[in-house]
Amino acid sequence: MEVQALQLNLAEVEEPIRNRVAESGLIQLELSELIKIDCVELDFTNMLKEGMVVIEKEFRAKVAELNEEDYAGKGVGLTVNPDAIIPDWAWMVVSSKLSKAEFVVVGGLESAKAEALRKGIENVDTDAYKDARIIVRGCDEACGPEGLLLFLNKVRPLVKSIMFGEACSTVPVFKKK
C-alpha cells in the first residue's frame, strides 16, 4: 500500500522538466569547438638513412615523392626519430614541399592541434562574448594551459565572468568589477 502511495503519476505533474543551465544565459564552451583545421602528423624518419641520418641527395628524392595534396588545407605537425641527426635545413626542405598545407609546425600531431587551436582562438567572433558569462569546459582534451590562457586573454576585456569546469561544479576564474 505504501509503495503505491509513493508512485508519481506523471499525468499529474504540471511543470515540464527545465534545463536551468540553458536558461541561465551561461555560455558553455569546449575550446576544441574553435578548431576549424584538420591536423595530421608527418614523421619523416623513413626519409633518413637507416632512420638516423640525412643523406642530402637521397633525402631530397624522398621528400620529392611526398604527395602535397595529402596535406592540402591541413595543419601538419612534423616529427622525426629524436635520436636522428637532423640539420636545420632538412625541416625547411620538408616544409617547403607542403606548400598547400594550412600550416606546418615542429612537434607532431600535438603541436599541430595546439597551433590549430591558437588560430581558432585568434579568429573567434568576440561579439558573441560581449557581457557574457562563460564556462570553459574542463573535460575538453584538445587544449591545455596554453590554449586556456590564449582564450582568457582574448575574451577577458569583453565578458562579465569566466569560470572553468562543468555547470554543476565550476571554479571562478575572472569576474568583471
pLDDT, tens digit, 9 for 90 and up, residues 120-160? 999 999 998 999 999 999 877 767 888 999 999 999 999 99
Strand partners, 76: 40, 104
Please give the residue that has the higher pLDDT: either 45 or 23: 45
Per cent of the chain over pLDDT 70 is: 87
Mean confidence (pLDDT) of the chain: 89
User: pLDDT-derived band of residue 175, with 50, 70 and 90 as boundaries?
Assistant: very high
Residue 25's pLDDT is 77
For the stretch 51-84, what's the b/e string if a residue is b when 16 or more beta carbons lie within 10 angstroms of its beta carbon? Answer: eeebeeeebeeebeeeeeeebeebbbbbbbeeeb
User: Is this structure's pTM higher than 0.85?
Assistant: no
Residue 112: pLDDT above 70? yes
Cα–Cα distance measured from residue 5 to residue 75, given in angstroms and rounded to the nearest whole number: 62
Please give the C-alpha separations between residue 105 and each of 27, 44, 71, 147, 158, in angstroms, as whole numbers: 32, 13, 13, 16, 31
Question: For residue 105, how far is the Cα from the chain centroid?
Answer: 15
Q: How confident is the model at residue 5 (pLDDT cuts 50, 70, 90)?
A: very low
pLDDT in tens, 36-79: 999 999 999 999 999 999 999 999 999 999 999 999 999 999 99
Closest CA to 108 of 120, 91, 125: 91
**16: number of Cβ within 10 Å:** 5
pLDDT given for residue 18 in this prediction: 58
